[in-house]
Structure 1
Amino acid sequence: MGDLEIRAAVAADVPAIVAMLADDPLGAQRESPDDLTPYLAALERLRSDPNQHLVVAVRESRVVGTLQLTVIPGLSRKGATRGIVEGVRVHADERGSGLGTQLIEWAIDESRRQDCQLVQLTSDVTRPDAHRFYERLGFTASHVGFKLPL
């Protein structure tokens, strides 16, 4: 399958990232691959914040996966810093290849490198396959999450 590189996302990666974000029933409802303007603006905000790490997995010059890692210092848990993983996506052609595991391992390793004491993530209740995947990697479904659209 070729060598894999995990690197910081750049503007040229945005179409592939958005396509992966939109490539499931949930993402198809909330993403707009036809207008990349808001995504490019978001990428600039992310790149200007040292606590944000939007990465892509590239194989044979093709973006095949992505995730965002946010490092958040905090007071709880004796001043623990957390790594929060969001937007994990693997291209349909790569699902089942171990790429998702490599991306999450990258996020865990980077969290350790940044002195995080905890890595956490959320997954929509409609994604039971993703839940099983995260549990296989050692994550525990320990909390109930809430969201308030603004």
Structure 2
Amino acid sequence: MALKEQNSCTICHDDGISNSAVTWCTECEVLLCRGCENPHSKSRLSKEHKTMSAENYQKLPTFMQEISSQCRDYKKKYELYCPFHACPCCVRCITDKHQKCQEMKPLSDILKQVKSSASVQLFQKDLKDVKEILDKAITYLQTRISTSNVQKTKSR
């Protein structure tokens, strides 16, 4: 659900009201204003949902904003993973498209394995190393630009 330009509460917007969003619910996939955030965080159905600030959500790359936990075909939540097709499945997908597929696994189990795998930790370390190198390069280039500007000023 890409809402890059729009930063209004999804629930209020559906009611024709324009309130600024402060939170993104990663499970409901909606932006929430302060008024909607409070009941959402207290409801038995949604109080355990993971959220992030709307500001941080807006900073995510578009491809990440477009990732959904719901099946595009049936609008149902992904619950299982098909190792044969290497894809997440909703309950309807299983009956319509994956009837012959064996060894369906709970998607939550697959995600836990991915998050705790050594490759993810190595990838995080590599990203941190690249960030440090880029930060040093930026600092160096800013110093060079500053030095160049000083030299230009002196030569005039």
- Asked if Structure 1 and Structure 2 have the same fold, meaning a TM-score greater than 0.5 normalized by the shorter chain, the answer is no
Q: TM-score range by the shorter chain?
A: under 0.3
More helix, by proportion? 2
Structure-1-length-normalised TM-score? 0.24
Relative contact order: is structure 1 or structure 2 higher (C-alpha 8 Å, sep ≥ 6)?
1
Q: What is the TM-score with the length of structure 2 in the denominator?
A: 0.24
From the CA coordinates, give the structure whose radius of gyration is larger. Answer: 2
